[in-house]
Structure formats: C-alpha cells, structure tokens
Structure 1
Amino acid sequence: MPGIISDLTVAGALFLRASARKLLSKNEPEPDLDKYSAAMQNLLNRAPEGLIKDYKWLDIPGNCPPWVASGLSLEIGDEISCFMAGRVFASKPLDIWLSLALQVWYKVGDGDIFRGTHSSHSFTAQDNGPLQFGNYFPNDWENLQGERQQDDKVYQTSSGGSRILIIRWHKPAVECLREMLSLGDFEGRLRCEIERIDIGDTTPKGWSYLWNIGRSNIFRKQPSESANDCIHCQTQGDTGILQKDVNLVLDKNTEISWKWCVDQLPSTLREDTVPSHDYLSIAVEFDNGRDITYYWSSTLPVGTGYDCPLPNWKGKEYHVVIRSGKEGLGEWKDERRNLFDDYKQYMGEPPARIVRVWLIANSAFQRNKGDCKYADIVLHGKQPLKVL
C-alpha cells in the first residue's frame, strides 16, 4: 500500500533524476520570456493595418489563484488567439511542472470555463464580457463557472508563472495567422497554431472529455493493424479523460472486456504517489460517482489496489493493477474483469448501475511518452453492450 515511505522513495528518485539531468545539461531549459516577448512584439509591430483589432500582454504568477482580468472585454463572435510562454512549477527541486495548456484556463464573462490543447489557442467568443485567465493545478474546478474545490491557499505551493499574448483579430483567426506567418514566425508558434486549427477536433465520435480536466488531442479514432475500430492514445506532458455514457445494471455477472496494445508506459516509477501518478487505463464509473480504473503498472505487482493519491480524487477513483512490467508491451492483450466482484473486493458494497466508461491518460508529472491502443470494449450484462 502507498504511504510515506513510498512517497519519500519516489521523491528521492525524482530528485536524483532531476539533478542528473541538470548536471548533464539535459533539462529542458526554462523559456526566455524576454526573448519570447521581443520576438512576438516584433511580429505584432509588422502586422499590416486591418489585421489586428487590439492585443494585450498579461503575466500570471504560478501562485496566483483564479481569476485574473486580461484587460480585454469580448463580444460574441470576436476572434481571439492566445500565445503562452513560461513555466509553473509544482516542485522545482523535483523538476515537476505542468504544461501551460493544462495549467492556464480561460473564462469569458459569465460563460463556461475552458482550456486549449497547446500553448497557443484560438477561439471565437461565445459570450459577452471580460476575458479572464486562471491557474488550474494544484486546485480543481468545482463547477463550470470556475469556482474551486479547495481553498485558494493551495496555490501558495506553486512557483514560476506564465506570460500570455492575447490578440483580437479583425477577421477569422486562421486567416489572420496565415497572413502573419508570411511576415515571419518565432519558434514555429504561428505555424503550430495554424496546424492545430486545420487538424480540428480529434475527439472520437460518441465520446467526450471530462469537463474539469478539459479537452485534449490525446485520443483519436485510428484503425490499427489488428482492429479497424480502434482508439489510439498518445500522451506526453498532458492529461485527458475520455468518457462515453452507458446505462447498465451492475449485478454479480456484470463484466467488462476489451483489447489493448500498450506500446509505451508513461511512468518508470510506481504510480501510487502524487509526483509519479502517470498511467494509461480503462475505467468504469458507477451511479454513486465512484470509478474503478484498470491499468498497466511499470513496477507494482498485479492485483495491487489503491485509492487515487491525488487529493481531489481520493474517495472517487480506485486503481487496480492488472498487468505489470515490460513483458508484453507492444502486443495486443485481451482482458476481462467481473465488475461486481472487483468493486466488492476493492471498494466495498457495489452500487446499482454503471453510467460511463472512461479512457484515461496522464503523463503530466514525469512528462514521459505514453502510447496505447484500445479496441473491442464490451460491457456484459443480460445482453452485451458494445462500447467501442
């Protein structure tokens, strides 16, 4: 079971890893904000008349709670592009930091909060009102209005910050970005944002992302050599939970079966501590708000079960190791679990119904690559229910 000893062991391993990278100059250098600002301002200064309506620069310290006014008030239909640079540390000694795509969220007027999938994000305003930005981690959202689950004092543990350039265009964002690109670029930021817009939403049809984690481009429908109907998961330095609604009675015979091919695990350490909680999994959510998630561990023995170590997920999510180590990576594996028995063994008295199936990817802490394919997900009750 996880505890203080395993926490300290993992923290020690991460500290040694960070120290070695620093000694060998293999750490990803912190962004040079002055260079970033000067280069992007130069592009702004060269923009032809009639392209940019207005723009703002905004600095947000990593220990600042939401929400921070940008100085821009938007109207429905406004075309906006935001470019971000910086780094917000959860722990500088352990070199744990979150990508700004995860960390920085947006809010327009009284509308719902949202985030981008990259360090740049273009959008069309859906509401009238001031554009605001807010840090996400280490808190979590209570609702779509941006209220928080924990006291805002938790932000005091964070350091670093982000610098945001906000541009309001006269025309559709992608048209303006292409015109700007003809004048130059900095670190490929304009080109990458254009490519992101051109690719569009990769969310598999019939699935949606868990709102308080936010939309990402981790998952996409992509045929494989072994399965035509396959969802491919690729993650590095990000996180996402893909969900599909179902409605099924949970009884003693209820099972879930699936096939998966895990090519690369995102963690090299035991996953049951906060700073090493990177993993790939499939989960089932019940009508009591709890879920059980099955994953392939890098080191923990098969059968290991534990409550999620993340403070905002304790008592909600339970992890069960069903495969471990490197053996079998890169091969398609068939899995089948009795959900009633697993719930009773690991979590207590089973609830009445199953309401969702999840695919989870987290690589935010160690920022390693994770790669996995899922196929043939079926819930077995009185009649089989094909999920994928």
Structure 2
Amino acid sequence: MVQPDLLRPLEAAPRFAIRTRQGLLALLLGLGGALGLIGCSSAPQAPASNPQAQSNSNPWAQRSQSEGIPDTAWQTHRFPGKSETVFSYQRQDGRDAMLAQADASASLLRQVVRVSPEQLGRLSFSWKVPALINEADMTRRDMDDSPVRVLLAFDGDRSRLSTRNAMMSELARALTGEDMPFATVMYVWSNSLPPETVLPSPRTDRVRKIVLESGPSQLGQWLSYERDIRADYERCYGEPPGALIGVAIMTDTDNTQSQSKAWYGPVRLLPATAKTAP
C-alpha cells in the first residue's frame, strides 16, 4: 500500500503538474526502465523441450559473484500495473539466447551486481531484432518503446537528486521495497535517431539512452557490441560513475500497445583490458 504521506507533498507541488494520487502513480508506473531495476521477481521461463535450459552451460542461469552482494541469477522483474514481457531461454542460430516477447507489456530481466567505480570495465552483449516497432518514438513519453534495451543501473550520492526525483525514489521504495537507481544508462535501437545519439528519458533525467542502431538496415541479424562503461556514463552525465548495481535487458511495447520480439545474447561484464573474441 502506498503511504499517503509520500503522496501529499507531490500533489501539493504545482511545478510537478501532478494533482492527484492517480496522476502520480500513472507517472511512476509509466517510467518502466526509468525505475531501473526494481519490482517483483521470478525466474525466466525455460522451454520444456530444452533440458539444459537451467544447467550451468546456460549463461542466463549462471549467478554473479559481486563485492558485498550475494550470488544472484538473472530474474524477471515486473512493474506494478504492467503486463509482463515473457523471457525464455533458447538456442538460436547456434547461440545461447534469451527470447523476449512483448505484447502491450513491459518488464525486464535483471541481475543484481555491485562493481565499484574503480573496477568498472567493459560491457559485452549482442542482440537480434526481426522488426521495428512502427509507432515507437523515444522522444515522446507516450510512445517510448524499444524492441531491445540493455540497461546499466548505478548508485550515487542521493542527496544530489532533485526534489522531484527524490520523491519518485521514495515512492518507488514504498511500492516495491527498492529505491530508484541514482542513474541509468540504457542502450537502445531507434526507428530514426542517428547512432550514438544520447537523449534523456522523456520522464526523468536520471535515465539517459544511447542509440546503437537506427532504422531497418540491420534487422534480422546478430549484432555484437563492446562498450566502455565509464566512458559511456561520463558521456551521458558529465561526471564519473558510482558503483554499478544492476544489469538488465528489456523489450517493451506498453506505450504503443503493440507486439515485438527480440533475441539477446549473453550480457557480460569484462575487465577494462579484456577483449571479446571476434
């Protein structure tokens, strides 16, 4: 149950243009990936025909061992009031892959980690997208969907959050038991924005998106990436990052009320000097 005392200050502040509890909850639920990596958890589905889907050979079933954090496996995290995107392990094109199927839905698959700023290295991942979401527009809050997203959530000095973001984080904790991340970097596929465009979420400046692909020319094929985590964070926020506290993937169609699917290859954190094989 949301605590009324958390809602009253927001309702009373005209600059937020949030006059009712319903309006505030709609804003919070609409944040989706902007809330970062919070929500109720469940294990991703494994096809019954694949006996190794939950074995140690499946990277999506392996656990992380991070400083100060218990071992955590990849888990589906749902947003209150949203239909759930279905995640299921597959062998796709000879690869270990996680299939995400969205139907007017939004949820993410996350792994809790804790990597101190001085240990941040590189992020390796791949994806395959068969089709774009025709009506999606990442610059509009009511059309902000993407067939693929890879998210990095960071800790930081919460005393520096704006009043609006601090109150949203408090409300997130009241609803889910977890604060909103201090900052989130999100890699996305846009319908039209140029690659390497950086743009804030239309809902909060604590989420910044980096466009990796744009338009239909690369559809239907596996695309691989290796990103410098610190460099991308500093590019987005203009300052050094705090600790990395979560990694996630997300395919969402809740705003456009459409359907989409995509495959993700394993997402791995690498030391700064490591390079993946070609």
TM-score, normalised with respect to structure 2: 0.62
Cα deviation code 1:192-213 (max 9, x no counterpart): xxxxxxxx96286422234544
1:286 paired with 2:154, answer: yes
Cα deviation code 1:60-90 (max 9, x no counterpart): xxxxxxxxxxxxxxxxxxxxxxxxxxxxxxx
Which residue among 218, 221, 224 is the counterpart of 2:92?
224
Name the residue aligned to 1:335: 225
Name the residue aligned to 1:273: 140
Which residue among 251, 259, 275 is the counterpart of 1:369?
259
Percent sequence identity over aligned pairs: 19
Name the residue aligned to 1:317: 207
CA contact (8 A) 1:267 1:363 kept: no
**How many residues in Structure 1 have an aligned counterpart in Structure 2?**
198
Name the residue aligned to 1:301: 194
CA contact (8 A) 1:266 1:278 kept: yes
Name the amino acid aligned to 1:317: V
- Once the two structures are overlaid, the 10-residue window that deviates more, 265-274 or 349-358, is 265-274
CA contact (8 A) 1:253 1:381 kept: yes
C-alpha deviation, 1:154, in angstroms:
5.5
C-alpha deviation, 1:320, in angstroms:
1.0
CA contact (8 A) 2:195 2:214 kept: yes
Alignment of 1:200-219 (within 5 A): 202=45, 205=61, 206-210=73-77, 212-213=79-80, 216-219=84-87
Name the residue aligned to 2:130: 263
Name the amino acid aligned to 1:278: D
1:249 paired with 2:127, answer: no
1:146 paired with 2:39, answer: no
C-alpha deviation, 1:358, in angstroms:
0.9
**Cα distance change on mapping 1:233 and 1:153 into 2, 3 Å:** same
Cα deviation code 1:173-229 (max 9, x no counterpart): xxxxxxxxxxxxxxxxxxxxxxxxxxx9628642223454468352111221231x2
**Cα distance change on mapping 1:287 and 1:201 into 2, 3 Å:** closer
CA contact (8 A) 1:208 1:243 kept: yes
Coordinate RMSD, CA, aligned: 3.2
Alignment of 1:1-388 (within 5 A): 145-147=1-3, 151=11, 153=20, 155=22, 202=45, 205=61, 206-210=73-77, 212-213=79-80, 216-227=84-95, 229-251=96-118, 254-279=121-146, 280-288=148-156, 289=181, 290-310=183-203, 314-381=204-271
**Cα distance change on mapping 1:267 and 1:308 into 2, 3 Å:** farther
Higher relative contact order (CA 8 A, sep 6+): 2
C-alpha deviation, 1:265, in angstroms:
2.4
CA contact (8 A) 2:153 2:184 kept: yes
**Cα distance change on mapping 1:211 and 1:276 into 2, 3 Å:** closer
**Cα distance change on mapping 1:376 and 1:269 into 2, 3 Å:** closer
CA contact (8 A) 1:267 1:368 kept: no
Name the amino acid aligned to 1:250: P
**Cα distance change on mapping 1:368 and 1:260 into 2, 3 Å:** same
CA contact (8 A) 1:268 1:299 kept: no
Q: Secondary structure at the match of 1:346?
A: helix
Q: Secondary structure at the match of 1:155?
A: helix
Q: Secondary structure at the match of 2:142?
A: helix
TM-score, normalised with respect to structure 1: 0.46
**Cα distance change on mapping 1:322 and 1:217 into 2, 3 Å:** closer
CA distance in 1, matches of 2:85, 2:216: 26
Please tell me whether Structure 1 or Structure 2 has the larger radius of gyration of its CA atoms: 1
CA contact (8 A) 1:296 1:324 kept: yes
CA distance in 1, matches of 2:194, 2:273: 33
CA distance in 2, matches of 1:221, 1:333: 18
Q: Secondary structure at the match of 2:234?
A: helix
CA distance in 2, matches of 1:220, 1:284: 21
Cα deviation code 1:274-309 (max 9, x no counterpart): 111011200111122211000110111112112111
Name the amino acid aligned to 2:191: S
CA contact (8 A) 1:254 1:379 kept: yes
C-alpha deviation, 1:344, in angstroms:
0.8
Gaps in structure 1 of 5+ consecutive residues: 1-144, 159-199
CA distance in 1, matches of 2:250, 2:113: 17
Name the amino acid aligned to 1:254: G
C-alpha deviation, 1:243, in angstroms:
0.9
CA contact (8 A) 1:259 1:375 kept: yes
Name the amino acid aligned to 1:234: Q
